[in-house]
Amino acid sequence: MTKKNPGYFCQEQVFDRPTMAIIRDALERADLSRTKAGARHVLQVPAVRDLAHHSSLISLAASFVGTRPVPFRATLFDKSAASNWLVAWHQDTALPLRQRNADPGWGPWSLKGGVLHAIAPGSALSTVVALRVHLDDSNSTNGPLRVLPGTHLDGVLPHDEIQHRAQTIVAVECLASVGGVVAMRPLLVHASSKASDDRPRRVLHIEYAATLQLGRGIELAVG
């Protein structure tokens, strides 16, 4: 089952290098609130918003979540010699919501970048896919995404179980050239190391959902 549904997919040459240069330039000129790791809420950048609705990305997202995927969040990850960071093995379990709800399956709650977030149940996370658009070449030395295939199939995992799987499952590096795209389920256990060279690794992490309405009174925030 894992081989048939590993929870990720890599596709090269979705976009050409000139197109990615335009996106990089738009992000550099945009008025974004940046962190050490990059920037949140980059769907507000018109060039990024247009890219998120590009037919190639919509088609790829649809193969995971259904015929009408909706982009709801985009994050810039910016790893470089000046800002070199690592991410331990984890699942992406928080979703941005327009308002609080009383459903006990959601929470704890937090504010991230001024937007309300909650840890989501596995049923909601299974309707989401992230498309990681590579603005730079990703290779084994500049801190690429690493994944544990098939780990999205068992829902939200406790911390100890994530660490156990990291020790027993062979990790896969998701490498891609400029313009390549890596699709991944949010519950896929993943990590990235610090870069060991000074080449930048910028990635647009765009998330799509089958629908913004995840239940009664539960609506994804877009941004």
pLDDT of residue 142: 87
Residue 49 has pLDDT above 90, yes or no: yes
pLDDT of residue 1: 35
Render pLDDT for 149-186 as a digit per residue (tens, 0 to 9).
999 999 999 999 999 999 999 999 999 999 999 999 99
Element (H or E) spanning 111, and its range? strand 109-112
Reduce the DSSP state of residue 96 to 3 states and report it.
strand
Residue 48 CA to residue 22 CA, distance in Å, equals 10
- Residue-by-residue DSSP string for 5-16: --SEEEES-SS-
pLDDT of residue 117: 96
| Burial track 45-62 (b if 16+ CB lie within 10 A, e otherwise) | bebbeebbebeebbebbe
Residue 88 has pLDDT above 70, yes or no: yes
| CATH number of this structure's domain 8-193+202-219 | 2.60.120.620
Residue 163 CA to residue 158 CA, distance in Å, equals 9
How do the domains of the chain map onto residue ranges?
Answer: 8-193+202-219
Q: In sequence order, which ranges of 90-158 are alpha helices (DSSP H)? A: 122-125
For the chain, what is the mean pLDDT? Answer: 93
Render pLDDT for 99-147 as a digit per residue (tens, 0 to 9).
998 899 999 999 988 899 999 999 999 999 999 999 999 998 888 999 9
Mean pLDDT confidence for 195-200:
82
Render pLDDT for 9-19 as a digit per residue (tens, 0 to 9).
999 999 999 99
